Structure formats: structure tokens, C-alpha cells
């Protein structure tokens, strides 16, 4: 046990013991063990999944020794599945390893129930036709399917799963839920014990900022008919009221109070994503409802009946300059409230369980607690089927994307499908034979046109350069590309059994100059998401229309700052070239000039800029429902370094 903990120390720090336990229960089925599949599995075996089964009928050939690290020269001519299985087993002896020397397509035909026993199936380098069937089979058997494909310098990762519920989404920058605007009786009583005008200088500078802000806010409310400050003038007045209580300029608690003053009038809101979870039809509980939806229903009851629309308090408070004793007591007030909220939700859970004649203790308090703690970041992802995606339903978005200049990611998506159709027609991939290269370019082009016609996209064309590039690839599986694609697939796989982090979402975008990533949550709504940042980051005509709320300082510099951040830096990037010291909460809407109404994306979060460092905290997800998604990567067509 001690050695296990040491071995997994660096990952336990991310997903904890319960995440690791889930991983250790996962059984993974890999279809085809070329480099893409072998690399995906390698990362999972290192992380300590329970067991894996490799399905691959082929033998180790010379080419495998040039692109797959999990075969060895001694295995030349032997079963590839056996070789990869043995070398993977070496990496982690606690993982169960099996292999089946059969073709995945044949297995799918002869024994579809084979897949039912797995947590996860990773299908690599499989053609479209087989994938559609596999998707159907896995959905029926409630097995998650990950599709990974490396093709020359391009690749694709796709998730196929009915529904993925995210409890612990582990946001990069959690928000503080302090309820300064709405203190509950116990907090009020606690705050009342303090005299923020204490004569004792040490005492004065060791009162936690939350207490100062609750006091000043209560005084403000008393003087303004119960209202909180609104508008920039009142907010400035509120800050002045805080400032007036300072006894000297170097009181750290007052610096913190001023920096956090906005939390009084801008408490964290309920995100549109969470709203859509709460409003989901699955929240109508019936006898087959899952625990997740029972918890959501209990949460919804809590918010409506017990909490005036608020979420359960998570009980965590940030560090505050303070005496130890004051801080610890304050922490206790928050923790007690959080526990009380958990109890209220627990009571709802029990009553729901009783109503549907299930054991009222079947959902443990620790589960409920975990759920309440993370309630703010609950997410539900649903993925459309491959069959739907490949139907004409998708035409509209594809059409629109192809009409835009920066659309080559869609072209890659089309080409990845076109090569499969090529193979179905000619019984081989394009560019396999040098002598037919030129001919294949024409053939592939014809297939692209047909494909676009079939899905109802008219008048669009695929770049000739890309078509010949795909023929140049000749279905090559380049090790580095396989390692990226396999790596992403394994990252997604880890997020699923550990039930914590969010899987691929539609709000991931194309990068511009190196790797193009495109995730299609659903072809109907979110290809746009991908496209749109591409435009945002590249086209000068795009401008940001920014609405700042709660900032108290709506000025040109801020607008420039946000424009800069939105234009050049991604939300997750640290940006340090701007000095100044203010903090604000913002809502930003970005419109694309000439764009349609739905080409709007909302950002909100807290934006501290301290000592020249600033960091975007959160990019809120779009309020659109999700069905399926795609990730397309490409590793070419970028820029010219000087000849070295």
C-alpha cells in the first residue's frame, strides 16, 4: 500500500484516492494495437487501470519496429497483440493483461456482447462503417467508447457515450462563495462579536476581511433601505466606507477587504451550464433514475425550499490576514453552515429515495457531501451518435464553416472521412502506391465532392493542397502523431472512470499556427465554437464588445486590457505585462462583426490583476446543450522558420 501510494503520488495529488480507486476498477478494451492504441494504453497502464484486453489479429512487421515502442525485434512475425500485451505488462505488474487475436470488425459481427464487460473501449485506426456499429453496440451496453485515429500528420479523437455526468470538475480557479451579501444568522452573530473600530492597533489589523466586509455591508444596507451598492458611484462609495475604517495604510486585512469588496455586490452566480442541468428533463425522478439525477433533484428541492435559490455553501474560505483564532473560528462558522446544508440535501435525497421505493440509505452522506461541495460545477454532457453525425443533419454547420476562410479544420474532418470512403471504394487508402499518387489525388477529390454532396453541402470545395497532403500521407501512422492522439485519448479515458473531470467539450478551439484542434460537440451548434475563436485570434476585423459589470471602474484601460486578453491570450494564460492593481468581476460578451446572434460567447469570472500579474479565472461555458463532439488535430501547414 505504501509503495502503491508512493508510485502514484504525483497523480493522487490530482484525483485523490477515490479517483485512483475508480481507475483501478476500470477495465479497458483496446481495438488494434498500432502505435496510437499502444500509446493510449501505455499511459493508462502506467496510471494503474485494473485490466486491459487487446484485440488485434495482426503480426509484428518491419514497419511496426519503426513506429511502435511496444513491440520488440524478437517479436517480428509473431502476434502483435501478444507482444504489446507483454511489454505493457512489464510497465505495471498490478494491471491485468489479456489479448485476443481477432479482428475487431469480425468480433463485432460474431460476438457483440464481448464489449459489455468493459468500462471503456478504445477503438483505434478503425474505418467509419465499423465505428458506427461499434458506437451502437457500446451505447446499448452502456460502455464508453473512445475513437482515436492518427493519419499522417493529422488525427482525431472522439468520445461516444450516452451521458457523462461530472461531479468533481476541478476548476482551475475555484470561486470563493462567502455570502458576504447575505450573511446567515450564525455568521451575523459571529461578526457582531467583533469591533472593527477596535482601538488596539494589533487587534484592528488582525480582523479577517470577510468580517469587515459583512459589517460594512450590513451598515450600508441599514442606511439604504436594505439595498446593496449598485452602480459605479455607489460601489465607489462602499469602498470609501471600507477605506474610512483603516487606521493605517499598511493594514493587510484592509488591503484584502478592498480587493474583495466586489464580492459584496457580485457574489458568484449560477452558471448557465448548471441551470441547464437543473432544468434537464432527467430531473423528473422515476424508478430507474440514476443516483446522479436523484442528487440533482434533491439539490433543486434544496434550492427552492431551503435556500432561497442559493446553492449549498461549499464551506471553504480563502486565506485571510488574521489572528489564527479568529480565522479558525470563522472557518468553523462556514463549515458548520456547509454541514447543515448537506443535511438538508440529505433529507431531500432520502425522501426522494423513499418515494421511488429505494433504500433511503443507498446514497451515502459522503457522496452527498462531495456532491454539495461541487454543486456549482456540475456538468452533464451528452454525445450524439456517430450515425447522426454522419447524416445530413450536420450539413448546415459544415456548409457554414466551409464558407469561412479559416475553415481548414473542417476540411481535415471531411478528408479524414473521405479517406475511409476511398478505402471502402478502392480497397486501399489513397497514396499507398507511389505510381498512383497523382491519380489518387483526383480520386480523393472526387470522393470529397461526393461526400459533401451526400451530406447536402453544396458548392464547397476542399483545398487542393490538403487533398494532396492526405495522399502524401499514404495512411502512415507517424509515431509522434500517434503519441499525441493516444495521449489525448488516454487523458479523456482517465477523466471518465475517475468520474471527476470534464471530458472534451465544445468550447475548445482551433489553435492557429501549429496544432489545429477542433472539437465538435454537436455539428448543429458548436462547430461554430471552434471556428469562432479561430477567427477571434486571427482576424483584425473582429472586435470585442465588452460589457463590464460590477467593475466600478469602467474605463478605457480595462476595455483595452480585456480586448487584449480576448484577442491574444487565452483565458487560461497568465498575462503579466500590464501593471496596475484592481480587481473586478466581469461579464463579457464577444460578438463577431457581422455575425449572427448565436455567435455570442459569454465570459464571466473574477479578474484580479495584482502586481502586474493577472490571470483569467474562468471561461463560462456556453448555454447550449451538448450532444457529440469531435477533436481533429493537425500538425502541418504552419509557418516558415528560417533555413538553419
Of 378 and 482, which has the nearer Cβ to another protein?
482
Cβ–Cβ < 8 Å for 385, 160: yes
Region from 52-60, 185-193, 263-271, 568-576 binding another protein, contact rule CB under 8 A: 568-576
Of 547 and 569, which has the nearer Cβ to another protein?
569
* Segment 31 to 50, residues that bind another protein, using CB under 8 A: 35, 39, 42-43, 46-48
* Segment 416 to 435, residues that bind another protein, using CB under 8 A: 431, 434
Of 114 and 616, which has the nearer Cβ to another protein?
616
322-353 as b/e: b if 16+ CB within 10 A = beeebbeebbebbeebbbbbbebbbbbbbebb
Among 129, 221, 428, 570, binds another protein (CB under 8 A): 570
240 binds another protein (CB under 8 A): no
Region from 62-70, 78-86, 113-121, 262-270 binding another protein, contact rule CB under 8 A: 62-70
Alpha carbon of 542 to those of 538, 557, 590, 597: distances in Å? 8, 19, 9, 15
Nearest distance, CB of residue 612 and another protein, angstroms: 8
* Segment 529 to 558, residues that bind another protein, using CB under 8 A: 537
* Segment 133 to 152, residues that bind another protein, using CB under 8 A: 152
* Segment 303 to 322, residues that bind another protein, using CB under 8 A: 319-322
334 binds another protein (CB under 8 A): no
How wide is the angle at C-alpha 221 spanned by C-alphas 216 and 223, nearest 5°? Answer: 95
442 binds another protein (CB under 8 A): no
Alpha carbon of 591 to those of 396, 402, 524, 585: distances in Å? 21, 20, 19, 20
248 binds another protein (CB under 8 A): no
Please name the residues in contact with 454: beta carbons below 8 A apart, sequence gap of 6 or more: 392
Alpha carbon of 489 to those of 109, 204, 494, 520: distances in Å? 25, 54, 9, 15
Of 46 and 525, which has the nearer Cβ to another protein?
46
Of 6 and 453, which has the nearer Cβ to another protein?
6
Region from 237-245, 388-396, 450-458, 571-579 binding another protein, contact rule CB under 8 A: 571-579
Alpha carbon of 229 to those of 85, 221, 223: distances in Å? 65, 8, 11
Nearest distance, CB of residue 53 and another protein, angstroms: 20
Nearest distance, CB of residue 248 and another protein, angstroms: 16
Of 53 and 377, which has the nearer Cβ to another protein?
377
* Segment 603 to 622, residues that bind another protein, using CB under 8 A: 613
383 binds another protein (CB under 8 A): no
DSSP 3-state of 26: coil
Nearest distance, CB of residue 86 and another protein, angstroms: 13
| Number of amino acids touching another protein (CB under 8 A) | 112
Name the grid cell of 202: 494589533
276 binds another protein (CB under 8 A): no
Among 236, 278, 569, 600, binds another protein (CB under 8 A): 569
H or E stretch covering 31: strand 27-31
Distance CA(261)–CA(551), nearest Å, equals 10
- Per-residue binding string, another protein, 488-507, x by CB under 8 A, is x-xxx-x------xxxxxxx
Measured in whole angstroms, the distance separating CA 507 from the mean position of its chain's CA atoms is 8
The C-alpha R_g of the chain, in whole angstroms, comes to 28
Among 472, 499, 554, 625, binds another protein (CB under 8 A): 472
Among 324, 357, 458, 540, binds another protein (CB under 8 A): 324
Cβ–Cβ < 8 Å for 135, 121: no
Query: How many residues are present in the chain?
Result: 644
* Segment 69 to 98, residues that bind another protein, using CB under 8 A: 69, 72-73, 90-92
Distance CA(112)–CA(134), nearest Å, equals 8
Nearest distance, CB of residue 359 and another protein, angstroms: 32
Nearest distance, CB of residue 301 and another protein, angstroms: 28
How wide is the angle at C-alpha 344 spanned by C-alphas 342 and 348, nearest 5°? Answer: 110
Among 473, 520, 528, 586, binds another protein (CB under 8 A): 473
Distance CA(365)–CA(575), nearest Å, equals 41
Of 232 and 539, which has the nearer Cβ to another protein?
539
DSSP 3-state of 317: coil
* Segment 194 to 223, residues that bind another protein, using CB under 8 A: 206
Distance CA(226)–CA(217), nearest Å, equals 10
Sign of CA dihedral 603, 605, 610, 615: negative
Distance CA(218)–CA(214), nearest Å, equals 6
Amino acid at each position: 500500500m505504501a509503495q502503491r501510494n508512493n508510485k502514484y503520488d504525483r497523480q493522487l495529488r490530482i484525483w485523490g484516492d477515490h479517483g485512483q480507486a475508480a481507475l483501478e476498477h476500470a477495465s479497458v478494451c483496446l481495438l488494434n494495437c498500432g502505435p496510437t492504441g499502444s500509446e493510449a494504453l501505455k499511459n493508462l497502464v502506467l496510471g494503474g487501470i485494473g485490466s486491459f484486453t487487446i484485440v488485434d489479429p495482426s503480426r509484428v512487421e518491419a514497419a511496426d519496429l519503426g513506429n511502435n515502442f511496444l513491440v520488440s525485434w524478437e517479436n517480428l512475425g509473431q502476434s502483435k497483440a501478444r507482444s504489446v500485451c507483454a511489454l505493457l505488462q512489464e510497465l505495471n505488474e498490478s494491471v491485468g493483461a489479456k489479448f485476443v487475436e481477432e479482428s475487431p470488425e469480425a468480433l463485432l459481427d460474431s460476438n457483440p456482447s464481448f464489449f459489455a464487460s468493459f468500462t471503456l473501449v478504445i477503438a483505434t485506426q478503425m474505418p467509419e462503417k465499423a465505428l458506427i456499429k461499434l458506437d451502437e453496440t457500446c451505447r446499448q451496453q452502456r460502455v464508453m467508447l473512445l475513437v482515436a485515429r492518427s493519419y499522417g500528420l493529422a488525427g482525431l479523437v472522439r468520445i461516444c457515450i450516452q451521458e457523462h455526468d461530472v461531479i468533481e470538475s476541478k476548476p482551475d480557479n475555484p470561486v470563493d462563495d462567502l455570502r458576504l451579501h447575505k450573511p446567515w444568522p450564525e455568521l451575523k452573530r459571529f461578526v457582531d462579536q467583533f469591533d472593527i473600530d477596535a482601538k488596539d492597533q494589533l487587534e484592528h489589523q488582525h480582523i479577517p476581511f470577510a468580517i469587515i466586509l459583512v459589517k460594512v455591508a450590513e451598515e450600508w444596507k441599514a442606511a439604504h433601505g436594505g439595498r446593496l451598492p449598485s452602480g459605479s458611484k455607489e460601489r465607489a462609495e462602499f469602498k470609501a466606507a471600507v477605506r474610512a475604517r483603516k487606521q493605517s495604510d499598511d493594514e493587510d486585512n484592509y488591503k484584502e477587504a478592498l480587493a474583495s469588496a466586489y464580492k459584496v455586490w457580485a457574489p458568484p452566480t449560477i452558471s448557465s451550464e448548471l441551470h441547464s442541468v437543473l432544468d434537464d428533463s432527467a430531473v423528473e425522478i422515476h424508478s430507474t433514475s440514476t443516483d446522479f439525477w436523484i442528487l440533482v433533484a434533491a439539490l433543486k428541492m434544496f434550492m427552492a425550499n431551503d435556500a432561497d435559490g442559493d446553492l449549498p455553501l461549499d464551506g471553504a474560505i480563502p486565506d485571510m490576514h488574521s489572528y489564527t483564532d479568529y480565522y479558525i473560528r470563522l472557518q468553523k462558522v462556514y463549515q458548520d453552515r456547509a454541514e447543515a446544508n448537506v443535511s438538508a440535501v440529505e433529507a431531500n435525497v432520502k425522501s426522494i429515495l423513499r418515494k421511488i421505493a429505494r433504500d433511503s440509505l443507498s446514497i451515502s452522506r459522503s457522496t452527498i457531501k462531495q456532491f454539495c461541495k461541487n454543486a456549482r460545477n456540475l456538468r452533464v454532457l451528452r454525445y450524439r451518435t456517430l450515425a447522426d453525425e454522419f447524416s445530413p443533419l450536420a450539413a448546415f454547420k459544415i456548409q457554414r464553416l466551409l464558407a469561412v476562410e479559416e475553415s481548414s479544420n473542417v476540411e481535415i474532418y471531411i478528408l479524414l472521412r473521405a479517406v475511409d470512403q476511398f478505402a471502402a471504394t478502392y480497397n486501399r487508402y489513397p497514396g499507398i502506391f507511389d505510381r498512383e499518387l497523382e491519380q489518387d489525388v483526383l480520386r480523393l477529390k472526387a470522393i470529397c465532392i461526393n461526400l459533401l454532396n451526400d451530406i447536402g453541402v453544396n458548392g464547397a470545395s476542399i483545398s487542393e493542397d490538403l487533398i494532396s497532403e492526405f495522399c502524401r500521407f499514404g495512411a502512415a501512422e507517424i509515431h509522434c502523431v500517434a503519441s499525441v492522439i493516444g495521449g489525448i485519448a488516454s487523458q479523456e479515458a482517465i477523466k471518465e472512470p475517475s468520474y471527476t473531470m470534464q471530458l472534451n467539450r465544445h468550447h475548445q478551439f482551433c489553435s492557429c499556427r501549429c496544432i489545429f484542434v477542433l472539437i465538435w460537440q454537436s455539428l448543429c451548434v458548436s462547430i461554430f465554437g471552434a471556428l469562432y475563436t479561430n477567427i477571434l485570434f486571427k482576424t483584425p476585423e473582429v472586435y470585442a464588445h465588452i460589457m463590464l459589470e460590477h467593475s466600478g471602474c469602467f474605463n478605457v484601460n480595462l476595455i483595452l486590457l480585456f480586448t487584449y486578453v480576448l484577442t491574444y491570450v487565452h483565458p487560461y494564460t497568465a498575462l503579466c505585462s500590464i501593471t496596475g492593481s484592481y480587481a473586478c468581476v466581469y461579464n463579457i460578451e464577444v460578438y463577431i462583426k457581422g455575425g449572427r446572434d448565436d455567435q455570442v460567447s459569454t465570459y464571466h469570472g473574477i479578474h484580479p490583476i495584482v502586481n502586474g500579474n493577472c490571470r483569467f479565472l474562468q471561461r463560462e461555458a456556453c448555454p447550449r446543450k451538448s450532444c457529440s463532439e469531435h477533436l481533429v488535430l493537425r500538425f502541418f501547414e504552419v509557418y516558415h522558420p528560417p533555413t538553419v
